[in-house]
Amino acid sequence: MIRTDHPEALYVHVPFCRSICAYCDFTHEPYCIERADAWLKALKQELSARVRSASLKTIYLGGGTPTALSLTQLEVLLSMLDPYAEEAEEYTIEVNPETLDEAKAECLARHRINRASIGYQSDNPKLLALMNRHHSYEDTAACMELLRRHGIANLSLDLMYSLPGQTMAQLQQAVYHAMDLKPAHLSLYSLTIEQGTAFAARKLNHLDDDAEADMYEWICRTLPEHGYQQYEISNFALRGYESRHNLMYWNYRDFYGISAGASGKEGLLRYDHGTLKEYLEDPLAVKKILLSEADARFEMVMMSLRLVRGLDRKLFQETFGIDVNEVYGSVISRLLQKGWLKEEERYLACTKKSYEILNTVLEEFLPEE
């Protein structure tokens, strides 16, 4: 039986943006002060009803764009979260460079936020315009300097690759310029075209598989040469600066998911929130999904194999009360023979050659119908 504890991680989704990126399919809408005020009231109701534990290790404010809120609204949001942040080791907020100013940076620091994930994406003006992003490389640099001046020095930059028309030289320049800004963490995501996005409407597409693979291989080879060690399929960090919150997901720990568009997990129960309209009508209404234990075991394997170190056998045993080999012994043996998996101490991990075919590896672990 799966072990359940009170979650030690909290994700809050802020469903507003000042402008909508061409690739984004997350729950969001253009910022409106009245809608944001109504959302804050709904959020207060859900927080008090759903989040039972104040002893959280990590909090993550994502979106959308949390800093798209007005200063007053940001103050209300962070004051609401203050009781949950007292013991948090990592408190992250997502930031778009054009939505941060001196007053907002001061507000973030005053409310114990100690990490920011900044939407950099590229330094190329044409690619930024293609993505409908309204900042420059200089804006990103100024944003980072502003945060550091207020004591928020644990900074992560998001980059995208395989963008329509992007060249290897453009990617390389974007990565080198990102490293010039000395972030502690870098996340690099390949573009996927999702239905309902502006890219899909314009029938744009990512680069072909070979070009995308070449970019990924260059990233994985280059960043470690500059001190950024890969610890997850898309994430690199200076030593000690891995995202503690995201490690909660990848290690299949329970977490609270609050607000429209958010998901949470507690034991075998998953829950998903609906649209902002639905959330404002009833903040406590969620779609509940009860997992079978076989599904939960597969999900833990699926999430953990994204990590370079792989699946923690001890954690699997503690979670499910059974050794992973008792569940997947024949699959593991087969994949070890193929050279797709490797065993190191208490971890079971993908090999370098299997990272780019991770979905194929995971299919081997799927529970039988």
Contact (Cβ atoms closer than 8 angstroms) between residue 206 and residue 164: yes
- 74's tokens: 């940001």
Confidence of residue 92 (pLDDT cuts 50, 70, 90): very high
pLDDT over 80 (residue 333) = yes
Question: What's this model's pTM, rounded to 2 decimal places?
Answer: 0.94
Residue-level pLDDT at 103: 98
- β-pairing verdict for 263-266 and 185-190: unpaired
For the chain, give every residue range classified as CATH 3.20.20.70.
Answer: 9-249
Alpha carbon distance 249, 188 (integer Å): 18
Give the model's confidence band at 3: pLDDT under 50 very low, under 70 low, under 90 confident, else very high: low
> Does the CA dihedral 116-41-15-134 come out positive or negative?
negative
Sign of CA dihedral 93, 134, 186, 62: positive
Question: Domain 9-249: which CATH class?
Answer: alpha beta
What tens digit of pLDDT does each residue of 137-173 get? 999 999 999 999 999 999 999 999 999 999 999 999 9
SS3 assignment for 151-216: CCCEEEEEEEECCCCCCHHHHHHHHHHHHHCCCCEEEEEECCCCCCCHHHHCCCCCCCHHHHHHHH
Domain with CATH 1.10.10 in the chain: 294-368
pLDDT in tens, 268-281: 999 999 999 999 99
Burial class (CB in 10 A: 0-12, 13-18, 19+), 211: middle
- What is the CATH code of the structural domain delimited by 294-368? 1.10.10
Q: What is the pLDDT of residues 184-231, one digit of tens each?
A: 999 999 888 777 777 778 787 788 999 999 999 999 999 999 999 999
pLDDT at res. 191 = 82
A 10 A CB-CB count for 177 gives 18
Task: Average the pLDDT over 10-17 and give the result.
Answer: 94
- Whether the per-residue pLDDT at 27 is higher than 70: the answer is no
User: According to the model, what pLDDT value does residue 159 have?
Assistant: 96
User: What pLDDT score was predicted for residue 290?
Assistant: 96
**Residue in this structure with the two tokens 């390949």, named with its chain if needed:** 190
pLDDT at 5: 66
Distance CA 222, CA 49 (A): 47
Tell whether the model's pLDDT for residue 359 goes beyond 70: yes
Residues 6 or more apart whose CB falls under 8 angstroms from that of 368 comprise none
Position with higher pLDDT, 146 vs 21: 146
> Exposed (0-12), middle (13-18) or buried (19+): which is 353, by Cβ within 10 Å?
exposed
Cα–Cα distances in Å, from 97 out to 144, 198, 269? Answer: 8, 21, 36
pLDDT of residue 367 exceeding 90, the answer is no
Q: How high is the mean pLDDT of the chain?
A: 93
Q: Is the pLDDT of residue 285 over 90?
A: yes
Where is pLDDT greater, at 197 or 16?
16
Between CA 10 and CA 332 the distance in angstroms is: 33
Q: Residue 339, SS3?
A: coil
Assess whether pLDDT exceeds 80 at residue 242: yes
Quote the strand ranges of 41-101, DSSP E: 58-63, 90-95
Question: Over 90: is that where the pLDDT of 120 sits?
Answer: yes
pLDDT above 70 covers a percentage of the chain that reads: 97
In the predicted model, is pLDDT for residue 1 greater than 80? no
- In this predicted structure, what is the pLDDT of residue 199? 74
Sheet with 311-312, side-by-side order of all strands: 311-312, 347-350, 341-344
Instruction: Take residue 357 and report the two structure tokens written for it.
Output: 């075919």
Q: Report the sign of the C-alpha dihedral through residues 80, 77, 14, 40, in that order.
A: positive
Q: How far apart are CA 345 and CA 336, in angstroms?
A: 15
**Residue 117: strand, helix, or coil:** strand
| 3-class secondary-structure state, position 355 | helix
Q: What is the mean pLDDT of residues 53-61?
A: 90
Terminus-to-terminus CA distance in the chain, angstroms? 20
pLDDT in tens, 299-316: 999 999 999 999 999 999
Residue 64 pLDDT = 86
As a whole number of angstroms, the distance between CA 120 and CA 157 comes to 6
Take residue 332 and report the two structure tokens written for it. 């593991």
Calculate the CA 284 to chain-centre distance. 24
Q: Quick check: 165 and 191 in contact, CB under 8 A?
A: no
Strands 347-350 and 311-312: antiparallel
Residues composing the chain:
369
